Amino acid sequence: MKEVRYIRAITEALREEMARDEAVFVIGEDVAYPGGSFSATRGLLEEFGERRVKDTPISESAIVGLALGAATQGLRPVVEIMFMDFLAVCMDQIVNQVAKTRYMFGGQYRLPLVIRTPCGGGLNAGPQHSQCLEAWFAHVPGLKVVMPATPYDVKGLLKTAIRDDNPVLFVENKALYGLKGEIPEEEYLVPIGQAEVKRRGRDVTVVATSRMVHQSLEAAQTLAKEGIEAEVIDLITITPLDKETIFQSVEKTSKLVIAHEAVKAFGIGAEISAMVCEEMVDYLDGPILRVGAPYAPVPFSPERSYLPQAEDVIKAVKKVLEY
């Protein structure tokens, strides 16, 4: 095992897959000479050349459209969209073209296309560069949406996504880019569609995504000092959703809290709540509580007061345990 930062785990995954398969190429704004906005593609231009590491004009719609065409012709593009907020600019290409091409042509086309994009706060980048919009895309059939929370998962999952013959929206929380973690020296893959129990517990289930996995684990450590054992599940994949792992935990604990950085209203937490109520309501001993951001744009300052934290998870757990 070796210790790497989250951002370097991404670089390693890209380098290994580009070396393994000549059909893989990287495209996006500043991915070549600067090495990407957050340095994820640093060094790839020198190693693989301009044919496979392509800078583009500032036109997200054109970038995704080019990648879509390349994917239909047997290539495996990895697109970098500088901020998740900018996916709104290429919404038509993603929702009406990328997500639907395999359906519209009866499966005759493969569409191996990965769109990498950073989400979330933590940089005081303001309301147009800090949003978590995964719920928009989880609502669209034909897209896989993933949100890895650790260096181990981000590397293994990116390699899996690049090899997938379907489009994958690969969402990275930029607050995690500096996070250190251990990964194997040898090659490994992380499957799409499989959640992971990061901490075992008996009293309450906490389902979390991305940065909120770490906030939930921190909360669980604090709660353990008070004799409360929280089971923390990292979804890893938003869609296809691994509801079996969630259901098994809820069957054991009978309590559920869901935590994500995105706005709480109409988010992934609401969908999970509905699924559990529809299929597992007899196992619940109290209401399902959600932790998320308020229904307002992300402020430039004070950002921390807007973003959900470990203390919000603790508060929700203690409230649900009152029932």
Q: Is 260 a catalytic residue?
A: no
- 28 torsion bin: left (phi>0), alpha (psi -120 to 50), beta (else): left
Is there a contact between 214 and 149 (Cβ–Cβ < 8 Å)? yes
Six-digit token pair at 300?
């430039």
Q: Which of 181, 210, 197, 220 is nearest to 318 (CA)?
A: 220
Contacts (Cβ under 8 Å, ≥6 apart) of 24: 14, 17, 18, 52, 75, 76, 77, 78, 162
Q: Classify strands 204-208 and 237-239 as parallel, antiparallel or unpaired.
A: unpaired
Is there a contact between 60 and 81 (Cβ–Cβ < 8 Å)? yes
Question: Rounded CA gap, 230 and 255, in Å?
Answer: 10
Contacts (Cβ under 8 Å, ≥6 apart) of 226: none
Residue 229 CB coordination number (10 Å): 14
Q: Which of the following is catalytic: 129, 139, 214, 260?
A: 129
- Name the maximum alpha-carbon separation found in the chain: 60
Query: What value, to the nearest 5°, has the Cα angle with vertex 101 and ends 97 and 105?
Result: 145
Contacts (Cβ under 8 Å, ≥6 apart) of 179: 5, 6, 150, 151, 214
Q: Which residues are catalytic?
A: 129
